[in-house]
Structure 1
Amino acid sequence: MCGGWVGVAETRRTRVGRPPPAHHDCGSITARPGRQTVRAVFRHLGAVPADLLDHLYRESCCVRGGAPDHRLSLSKRHGYARRRLEYGRVARRRASRDSVIQHPYVVVAPAETLHVEAWPGDGRPIALVPGLFGAAFTFRKVLPLLAAQGFRPIVIEPLGTGFSSRPPKADYSLAAQSRRLAAVIDSLGSGPVLVLAHSLGAAIAFRLALDRPDLVRGIVSLEGGPTEEATTPGFRSAMRFVPWIKLLGGINLIRRKIRGMLLDSSGDRSWVTDGVVLGYTLGEARDFDATLRTLLAMSRAREPAKLTPRLGDITCPVTLVVGTAPHDGDVSPQEVALMNHALVSFAVDSEPGAGHYLQEERPAAVVSAVERLAERVPPR
């Protein structure tokens, strides 16, 4: 999913005075006075780390008494959370202390640290791999449902995403990302695992299953095909305009573009709220300069080998879940046919009316797909 960043570059060509698109209206976060912003964020910011909610409540006190045109600087006030220790089930509710996330960071190489949210317990381990956008936050609805069904979720944010580190000279190829996932699973002693991957995360999961079949018992791909590169030609072209992004609004510009991308990628758009947009960009806002450098590095990454000719070597069962509503970022019929022909054990589930972010629109259906896959996996 690179549409959000392509849209950022296109902003440079927008004429001054042109009315904004419908989904960028004055209801956006940055167009509200501070007090209204805080209320909007708290109203919609469900299931985020409790320590981050505490931080937001403390920062909200700074808004009182401001001038009528006061603006809450989201990039400064909300962008520096260092750790995400607990999940809250709903807005304004704290998670219980028995759900403390373990192993918040795992060092896989010098300057390469992955943010990991591993739930406690002895349930069936399942590694969750987000795509380019959303990081661990995108799975907040799915995690408690998986735990309730006897799974032990382990969310691994790939290098350069979420709260993982962003070294500018690292190898951001999908092959390198899969090796880092293997290093995390090895370090936690959790393998073999089921893998639930969204979008680009599925391309990483496929490579992990090829290179380390001993670590992967099965894969549920949420709208993710056998992508050959981490970025699209449009994404790489958009990176020419990176120097303009900060001049045109920085992180607030990114948030507006991410909002538009999420809306265009959805069947049911009701989940795209101010709080969600904030959650999807927290890691990027923490060090915006590093985020831009990382995106440039991703656009230059090259894969050491093609994935498509090797799909037949993936022996674990794979389930692809797709949404049927017209939306951006879908898996093409050609990719579905390719997987059906090449993979040893392959199934397709479809969710009527859903879009690209199935974990947001249909979390219960996602968990059901995981349970069905688990039934197809031979016992250890």
Structure 2
Amino acid sequence: MGAGEAKRPLAVRMGASALRGFIALVLFILVLLLILRGLAAWREGEAMAPAGTSYFATPAGRVAARVAGPADGIPVVLVHGTAAWSGFWSEVADHLAQRGWRVIAIDLPPFGWSDRDPSARYDRVTQAERLSAILGVLGKPAVVVGHSFGAGAVTELGLRHPEQVRGLVLVDAALGELDPKTEAPVAKVMRAEPVAQLATSAIVTNPNALEPFLRSLIERKEQAHRWIPVLREPMLRAGSTSAYAAWLPNLFTKQDGALSRRSASVGAIKVPVALIWGDADTVTPLPQGKRIEALTRARSLTILPGVGHIPHIEDPAAFQAALDQSLKTVTKEKE
């Protein structure tokens, strides 16, 4: 310590030391995040869509899908949640196809094998219009099943295009805060591209973080491991981290002009609704499901015991039975 520094008051010296320590910590974190972003780019390549992938043309780009079941069956469209894709519905799709439904499990952009939008139009309204374009190709009303964040676009579709929807099945739906007074601060932060890129590469497309992240969403932790290869498969496409980062602000936004963010609009929905919910869901807890049940005058709310936020991978048999009953409920004419 120099003589001049020794003469400075102790509190000042301690404050300067703390500041240097804080700056060093920030620099360390930034370097670590930049390394993670570089590793994410290194992992991504020219991964190919699975054999049998179909594509639907929409005004906002092609949407990839897995199609199964008899061509004359009632269409059931399956819409996944955050960072997932149609592969997460594989067991459900096989189950429904065997029961005579025409199953269309889609990859909601930018996830899966769908086209990434150069203009990053991933808001709930645009996603609903993508779904509407797909239903237009199908040519007849469909039952639409939406899980978690995907349920927002599905509900928006039901509100904007009820003539295309035979019924909705919402699974642990993440509709977010209804009637928000202000925008979420984190949404504003995530609109800064460097922040979103670093957050995505650290958490979403980082293979070392993916399993802990998935385990945090579910109650039956042992089910996470076998689904990690499925979840990662489309993340190996070139540009995945950048595309997911462009989408990320939509996960947190509260104000994007969507009807499904207003309780009065949700309460006026015209299509039949059924709900399926895990009673151990900590992401969208059961009270949220009960509020949606009341608002939509849902025909049923099936509660799955000991199940968290992703019922179709946690307890496939119980979920498939619940889905069978929910599909019957929303397609049955009211007496």
TM-score of the two chains, using structure 1 as the length reference: 0.66
Which of these residues, 297, 301, 314, is aligned with residue 361 of structure 1?
A: 314
Please list every run of 5 or more consecutive structure 1 residues that lacks an aligned counterpart in the other structure: 1-11, 17-72, 87-100
Which of these residues, 278, 303, 324, is aligned with residue 323 of structure 1?
A: 278
For residues 337 and 300 of structure 1, what CA distance do their matches in structure 2 show? 22
What residue is the counterpart of 1:136 in the other structure?
Answer: 86
What residue is the counterpart of 1:181 in the other structure?
Answer: 131
Looking at secondary structure, tell me which structure has more helix per residue: 2
How far off its partner does 1:379 sit?
5.4
What residue is the counterpart of 1:155 in the other structure?
Answer: 105
Residue deviations 1:149-194 (CA, integer Å, cap 9, x gap): 22121012222111112224142211110111010111132x3111
What residue is the counterpart of 1:288 in the other structure?
Answer: 240
What residue is the counterpart of 2:208 in the other structure?
Answer: 256
Amino acid at match of 1:262: L
Aligned alpha-carbon RMSD (Å) = 3.3
Amino acid at match of 2:295: A
Residue deviations 1:102-160 (CA, integer Å, cap 9, x gap): xx1122126x2211111141322100000112211211121111112221210122221
Q: Are the structure 2 counterparts of residues 251 and 332 from structure 1 closer, same or farther at C-alpha, using a change threshold of 3 Å?
A: closer
What secondary structure is seen at the aligned counterpart in 2 of 1:140? Answer: helix
Matched ranges for 1:364-379 at <5 A: 364-376=317-329, 377-378=331-332
Amino acid at match of 1:352: P
Matched ranges for 1:189-204 at <5 A: 189=139, 191-204=140-153
Is the CA contact 2:80–2:150 (under 8 Å) kept in the aligned structure 1? yes
What residue is the counterpart of 1:314 in the other structure?
Answer: 269
How far off its partner does 1:316 sit?
2.3
How far off its partner does 1:14 sit?
11
Which of these residues, 221, 237, 244, is aligned with residue 269 of structure 1?
A: 221
For residues 134 and 342 of structure 1, what CA distance do their matches in structure 2 show? 27
What residue is the counterpart of 2:229 in the other structure?
Answer: 278
Does 2:74 correspond to 1:124?
Answer: yes
Is the CA contact 2:40–2:206 (under 8 Å) kept in the aligned structure 1? no
What residue is the counterpart of 1:85 in the other structure?
Answer: 51
Amino acid at match of 2:243: T
Is the CA contact 2:279–2:286 (under 8 Å) kept in the aligned structure 1? no
What secondary structure is seen at the aligned counterpart in 2 of 1:304? Answer: coil
Q: Are the structure 2 counterparts of residues 239 and 118 from structure 1 closer, same or farther at C-alpha, using a change threshold of 3 Å?
A: same
Answer with 1 or 2: which has the greater Rg: 2
* Identical amino acids, percent of aligned pairs: 23
For residues 284 and 357 of structure 1, what CA distance do their matches in structure 2 show? 20
How far off its partner does 1:245 sit?
5.5
What secondary structure is seen at the aligned counterpart in 2 of 1:164? Answer: coil
What residue is the counterpart of 2:32 in the other structure?
Answer: none
How far off its partner does 1:259 sit?
1.4
Q: Are the structure 2 counterparts of residues 174 and 243 from structure 1 closer, same or farther at C-alpha, using a change threshold of 3 Å?
A: closer
Does 2:292 correspond to 1:342?
Answer: no
What residue is the counterpart of 1:224 in the other structure?
Answer: 173
Which of these residues, 37, 55, 58, is aligned with residue 108 of structure 1?
A: 58
What residue is the counterpart of 1:52 in the other structure?
Answer: none
TM-score of the two chains, using structure 2 as the length reference: 0.74
Residue deviations 1:192-220 (CA, integer Å, cap 9, x gap): 11112110111111111111111111121
Please list every run of 5 or more consecutive structure 2 residues that lacks an aligned counterpart in the other structure: 1-24, 30-38
Q: Are the structure 2 counterparts of residues 262 and 204 from structure 1 closer, same or farther at C-alpha, using a change threshold of 3 Å?
A: same
Matched ranges for 1:163-174 at <5 A: 163-174=113-124
Is the CA contact 1:123–1:150 (under 8 Å) kept in the aligned structure 2? yes
Does 2:196 correspond to 1:242?
Answer: yes
Is the CA contact 1:239–1:299 (under 8 Å) kept in the aligned structure 2? no
Residue deviations 1:223-242 (CA, integer Å, cap 9, x gap): 1043369x965465456523
What residue is the counterpart of 2:162 in the other structure?
Answer: 213
For residues 176 and 296 of structure 1, what CA distance do their matches in structure 2 show? 15
How many correspondences in the alignment?
290
Is the CA contact 1:175–1:304 (under 8 Å) kept in the aligned structure 2? yes
How far off its partner does 1:347 sit?
2.0
How far off its partner does 1:78 sit?
7.8
Amino acid at match of 2:228: V
Is the CA contact 1:145–1:364 (under 8 Å) kept in the aligned structure 2? no
